[in-house]
Amino acid sequence: MRALKTGFLLLALTLLLVLGGEELGGQNGMILGLAVAACTNMVAYFFSDKIALKSSHAQPVTPQQVPRLYAVMERLCGKSNLPMPKLYVIPEAAPNAFATGRNPKHASVAVTQGLLELMNDDELEGVIAHELSHVRNYDILITSIAATVAGAITLLAHMAQWGFMFAGYGGGGGRRDRGNALSMLLMMILAPIAALFLQLGLSRQREYAADAAGVRLAGHPYGLISALKKLGAYNQRIPMNVPPATSSLFIVTPLSARNIMSGLFSTHPPLADRIAVLERMTVVPH
């Protein structure tokens, strides 16, 4: 079901790009917007892991420095038949973690110092299983595709704004011209908003999917449930010094003075909803 929802959201974004390109810039405008957005996101796709790790001040670690983390990672990688990712520790007190990398062979997992100190073994396993599920499900690839299409839609809208200002729409033309101008104006305003919400919907679906896959990998939901409760409590009190673009990668949205996000525009589903879904997995049917 989640795979169908992911496919639907990607299809909706693509259709929005086609319709928006046709309305705002014709076929040439659509091709230009897609090409520019694709180039931008290709750079981000190949270098986003380095950018995320550097901006979060993540430091590479050895098995001797964090033996418990390496033991959990090796065990879960063996169960999921995944190559061992590069491991990093972020010098932050708030517990959190994220995975990055364009595919399993180029994956990195970063955890905060607070996570290592506050999580017991089952909770740490639940968090790492969630992050490995992002790697195994190619979530970086999926979200990059979505970002490419959404970026093209936004670019077309900006192009249309300039065209609208200088093309003389609505300047005494006939009813058909006024209708075309109104249609373009609505598309300029609504297309980027629709693209944003479709992108957020896709991101939230991938979080639910990573939770479920992480539970299957760990073998039980209890560690992840307990970890999410701790993560929610501590990240409401302890701020993290991370940029907004990187905060969307973490397992829960970190508290940051530069990134106070409302639930409406959050890349993550509400934490209470995620926990409720996991708790339903613990109910044994009679």
The residues pairing with 89 across neighbouring beta strands, listed in sequence order, are 59, 111
Q: What is the pLDDT of residue 24?
A: 59
| pLDDT higher than threshold 90 for residue 84 | yes
More confident residue, 101 or 187: 101
Separation of alpha carbons 143 and 149, rounded Å: 10
For residue range 102-158, list pLDDT tens digits in order.
889 999 999 999 999 999 999 999 999 999 999 998 887 777 666 666 666 666 666
Q: Are 86 and 61 in contact (CB under 8 A)?
A: no
Query: pTM above the 0.75 mark?
Result: yes
The answer to whether 247 and 254 are in contact (CB under 8 A) is yes
- Is there a catalytic annotation at residue 131? yes
Q: What does the pLDDT read at residue 170? A: 47
Mean of pLDDT over the chain: 79
pLDDT class of 266 with cuts at 50, 70, 90: confident
The helix (H) or strand (E) run that includes residue 97 is strand 97-100
64 in helix, strand or coil? Answer: coil
When pLDDT is averaged across residues 37-48 and rounded to a whole number, the result is: 72
Catalytic residue among 22, 131, 207, 279: 131
Please calculate the CA angle 207-155-16 and round it to the nearest 5 degrees.
60
Q: Residue 180, exposed/middle/buried by CB under 10 A (0-12, 13-18, 19+)?
A: middle
